[in-house]
Amino acid sequence: MAQTATIDAPNKDISLGIKNFLGQLLKSGLAEAVLLPLRQPGSTTVMPGLVTDPDALEQADLLAPVAPLSAARMAARLTRRSTGKPVAAVLRPCEVRAFIELVKFNQAKAEDILLISADCAGVMSNKDYGTFAAAEASPPGERFWKAAGRGDATQVDGFSLASACKVCEQPFSSSADISLGILGADGSVGIPATANTQKGEDALKKLGLDQSPPNKAHQKVLSMLVERRSQAKQALFATMEEKVNSLGALNKYFENCVNCYNCRVACPICYCRECVFLTDAFDHDPPLYLNWAFRNKAIKMPTDTAFFHLTRLAHMSTSCVGCGQCTNACPNDIPVADLFIRVSAATQKAFEYQPGQSLEEKPPLAVFEADEFGEAVGIKSKAAS
């Protein structure tokens, strides 16, 4: 598949070029509505918004370095039940991967949605973005992209990118129906639009966008960025192995956790309607707290903090897409994502599974293999015998 066309960027304006493209989708009937980052009236706040009028696309801020929540959840809400009306969704690469996982968990449907993903240079925390956006009169998205659009920046105007973004090795999406190659692009030769699926190819053809050769400059920028981020990820992993190498170290890592469960709410992969930690299962009887305190001389309140995070890891580490929303949502700035990304990398390697890459590939825990992990139960696999 993977056929590439070129979207015009008037006056080398990448953001305007994408808006025009989305407007064409609406006018052509290929999409009844578009889900995308939308600047809120009279402010620099950017939130996912649903647009049905091409004129309203003027409010879109597609380059703003912020993801206040995972738009994959919003895409899931729009597609949980089929409406028969096509919707387009502009998602970051990690959000595309999360949406695909949600489809596998029967939390969303892919039939009526056209997934569009532009390259991602990274985002800031919600707190940092608010300060960054208010610093100057110029549009924050354009200001950020001017500094970071080459993919070689880890901070802009003194504001650092989120830790998860610094180690993300997938700043592009080959799983979206249409991928927009904007990293390293100056708009002078347009915006490369690659169709990764038949649905994406049909959309580009219907809009009259002719096939064009792949942009070699764009591929070069991506390769350089992925190499740098791979090195940063290995450095992070080494740090995490020193920080969290025992249960005591894990308790220290989460010592500022107040059991607010914001990380669970923000995680696009945590989809359970009723979380066990919101039931009375951990509403212990008062004598238990006293017994634990007498036994250990002192205990941290609230309890069950480490158990909560370990339970989350057990539930979703095979499908973690490294979006960093857990850290973004933490009121006490605990780097939750750093630990989850490290553990998830090991889990996914063990299962030989990359989340969000293919709708056809089933999640590991949904598939039973007779000789899987034989070393864990003392049974030799057929391959080893």
Same domain assignment for residues 116 and 228: yes
At 135, is the pLDDT very low, low, confident or very high (cuts 50, 70, 90)? confident
Within a domain: residue 385? no
Within a domain: residue 200? yes
pLDDT reading at 56 higher than 70:
yes
- What confidence score (pLDDT) does residue 273 get? 80
Model confidence over 89-107: pLDDT tens digits?
Answer: 999 999 999 999 999 999 9
Does a cis peptide bond (omega within 30 degrees of 0) precede residue 302?
A: yes
Within a domain: residue 382? no
Same domain assignment for residues 218 and 353: no
Within a domain: residue 100? yes
At 374, is the pLDDT very low, low, confident or very high (cuts 50, 70, 90)? low
Same domain assignment for residues 200 and 156: yes
Q: Which residue has 């509403």 as its token pair? A: 283
- What confidence score (pLDDT) does residue 225 get? 94
- Return all residues near 279 (Cβ < 8 A) that are at least 6 apart: none
Give the residue with greater pLDDT, 262 vs 384.
262
Planar angle of CA 34, 166, 192, nearest 5 degrees: 45
Same domain assignment for residues 149 and 210: yes
DSSP H or E segment with residue 17:
helix 14-28
Lowest mean pLDDT among 30-39, 49-58, 170-179, 370-379: 370-379
Count of domains for the chain:
2
Partnered with residue 38 across adjacent β-strands are 47, 60
Same domain assignment for residues 90 and 153: yes
At 138, is the pLDDT very low, low, confident or very high (cuts 50, 70, 90)? confident
Report the half-sphere exposure of 78 (CA within 13 A, side-chain side): 27
Same domain assignment for residues 237 and 225: no
- Return all residues near 39 (Cβ < 8 A) that are at least 6 apart: 45, 46, 59, 60, 61, 64
- What confidence score (pLDDT) does residue 1 get? 53
pLDDT reading at 252 higher than 60:
yes
Among the three residues 200, 232, 264, which one is the final residue of a domain in this structure? 232
Partnered with residue 36 across adjacent β-strands are 49
The boundaries of the domain holding residue 189 are 3-232
Within a domain: residue 281? yes
Contact between residue 153 and residue 162 where contact means Cβ atoms under 8 Å apart: no
Closest by alpha carbon to 46, among 175, 132, 158, 117?
A: 132
Q: What is the mean pLDDT of the chain?
A: 90
pLDDT reading at 354 higher than 90:
yes
Residue 294's identity, in one-letter code, is F
Model confidence over 4-45: pLDDT tens digits?
Answer: 888 998 998 999 999 999 999 999 999 999 999 999 988 889
Average pLDDT of the residues in 318-329: 96
At 277, is the pLDDT very low, low, confident or very high (cuts 50, 70, 90)? confident
- What confidence score (pLDDT) does residue 378 get? 61
Among the three residues 177, 202, 232, which one is the final residue of a domain in this structure? 232
Distance CA 250, CA 338 (A): 13
Phi, psi at 14, each rounded to 5° = -65, -45
Contact between residue 62 and residue 18 where contact means Cβ atoms under 8 Å apart: yes
- What confidence score (pLDDT) does residue 383 get? 52
Same domain assignment for residues 84 and 153: yes
Contact between residue 369 and residue 377 where contact means Cβ atoms under 8 Å apart: no
Contact between residue 126 and residue 99 where contact means Cβ atoms under 8 Å apart: no
At 83, is the pLDDT very low, low, confident or very high (cuts 50, 70, 90)? confident
Same domain assignment for residues 127 and 262: no
Among the three residues 202, 232, 262, which one is the final residue of a domain in this structure? 232
Same domain assignment for residues 192 and 255: no
Same domain assignment for residues 147 and 7: yes
Within a domain: residue 383? no
Within a domain: residue 43? yes
Lowest mean pLDDT among 207-211, 255-259, 357-361: 207-211
Same domain assignment for residues 175 and 255: no
Within a domain: residue 191? yes
- Return all residues near 104 (Cβ < 8 A) that are at least 6 apart: 359, 362, 363, 366
Same domain assignment for residues 79 and 108: yes
- What confidence score (pLDDT) does residue 281 get? 81
Q: What is the DSSP letter of 382?
A: T
